[in-house]
Structure 1
């Protein structure tokens, strides 16, 4: 599954006209993967499956229109963050045999860099004009290799603060699912890697093949790069890295709210520091900000899901539905039930129907 037998010349896309069904047809899209130790399996698999499904008719998986392979300097098996191991198929060799080189990152603390052989290979690819792709924390690895200077890059909102801390002076994009900046493409990982792969398939193979891949994977439609990353939309905008990190911790603990003291402990700051930064940056307290995040999530669930008020209360860290309703009315001027009711029902309640005498 992880290798393709065909290749393209000098890293240039093959002619995209006149597709046939022969196994001997030159693929229009050829991708080489570099897997970091403890890479994210989901992001890698989503990307590969889009290529696989676009490469052939039906679900036969023949690498005709696309091919793909995992390359390595040592050919040692590479463990993913989930423990699943992938065996590379080819040595690094000449990067020009690919249209794109994709670096799949994983757990940051276990992948400080890729090593000199990979850095040499990636720099050779960049000098040859081969676009480089960073998946998940692959953007970190490309930047450590000196290959993202002057480029915009996409990182997951979960790792945004980590990126800022490690790479001073950069402003990564954490509110889009992927970013295409000339010959550098980066995405936040997870399902967004399927959408980035579909973008490449659309460009080199065809829109029909890209749509077919996503539909077979039970993904409705291809999303554009500007699509916001899934998560809780925060109205709390700030450039303060301490406040940003605290807000992300709050997002990750919506169903089981933690104290400001615990947030400060996890961040290595004092409670007073956290409170001072929130006041200066957002003119509010961390407690109020956390409550508003939970209420925003409750509002989102009441509008977009069919969950009961009681379940929404549990999911958003409220004691019960009554507690949620009180806080909800204070914030939005209505109860969760009233938000969900059709407008026509609310009008009929407000204006009594007059009967004929």
Structure 2
């Protein structure tokens, strides 16, 4: 069943029983994913502005009643333990940071397995999908993961069929397994679940209160890397993400191709077909875009920015920056800070010609000024 059809399953406008949600928070869970999902339940559960759990109820369940720390430091205490928890219609597992702190405990994985073995629909949000995989409850199902954690998922679960992994959509609904990329998409997946049981007006009201407007369908794309179209080949998207993650160094083409299970020649061809640029040229644009952002959002020196963005020195950055943006870094920074146009023109002329009167810390006459 497609995501759109799943969201349009016939509903009972006045359900005889509340829809029961159990929520498991993993260590270092993402607060946005948790709060977005819960607020959709809260705002859809009651008429008016009373937040009463009339149409649905929700409980935070944990191995113990000890508070669970979110990645931002806020702590949430479970309301009941796995041993005392009553059956739920949906078990929602919310994850967050992968590389900091403990993972889901064995008791948590056992609880997920017990719930999944019955009539409960299991939902993995953000890296909660990793816990569902460890619990062994996603076999034979489509699995949605965030593009940011795609390679982490591949490395930890190398035997998963690559065709089953969805890393370019917001969420995936596959029978009694629902997986979501996280973040703001937790609101959309909550809306899709609620539309299975409630009328559209009830769910739409909750979305409007959250200032979201229309929900995004599961097949809506995850935000793609800048400079790429949504239809770009997934291998190219992944390559660009790897470049962004290592913007401070020139990643060898062979290394990049190896991580994508391609030959260097295949990757070169694919890049040119999809972007019109070679991988090296595209990586250079990414580094320049990052440098431009740092110039306007920080007071770091041009030399420091050059080093952070993988350029050999400030002069190297200055030459490449002028080719891309038409002005040297110092002029670009001053333009964005609202500097007087006449002063900018005068400074640019000095920098272009290397005339006396240019700032003393210009390197090589190319406009790489170390401003603070």
Would you say the 8 A contact 1:95–1:125 is kept in 2? no
Matched, 1:217 2:210: yes
1:87 is aligned to 77
Q: Please show how residues 144-183 of structure 1 align to structure 2 within 5 Å.
A: 144-170=134-160, 171=162, 172-183=165-176
- Structure 2: where are the runs of 5+ without partners? 1-10, 272-277, 298-308, 310-316, 327-372
Give the Cα separation in 2 of the matches to 1:34 and 1:117: 12
1:34 is aligned to 24
Give the Cα separation in 1 of the matches to 2:99 and 2:325: 42
In structure 1, the residue corresponding to 2:166 is in which secondary structure?
coil
Q: Which runs of 4+ in 1 moved over 4 A?
A: 243-246, 275-278, 291-295, 317-326
Q: 1:293 offset after TM fit, Å?
A: 6.1
Give the Cα separation in 2 of the matches to 1:166 and 1:179: 20
Root mean square deviation of aligned Cα: 3.4
Matched, 1:274 2:282: no
1:102 is aligned to 92
How many residue pairs end up in the alignment? Answer: 281
Q: Deviations over 1:90-114 (max 9, x none)?
A: 1224766211000001111246642
1:287 is aligned to 280
Would you say the 8 A contact 1:96–1:128 is kept in 2? no
Give the Cα separation in 2 of the matches to 1:86 and 1:258: 37
1:339 is aligned to none
Would you say the 8 A contact 1:104–1:134 is kept in 2? yes
2:105 is aligned to 115
1:231 is aligned to 224
TM-score, normalization: structure 1? 0.69
1:60 is aligned to 50
Would you say the 8 A contact 1:161–1:244 is kept in 2? no
Q: Please show how residues 312-331 of structure 1 align to structure 2 within 5 Å.
A: 323-324=323-324
Q: 1:26 offset after TM fit, Å?
A: 3.6
TM-score, normalization: structure 2? 0.66
Would you say the 8 A contact 2:61–2:85 is kept in 1? no
Give the Cα separation in 2 of the matches to 1:203 and 1:60: 23
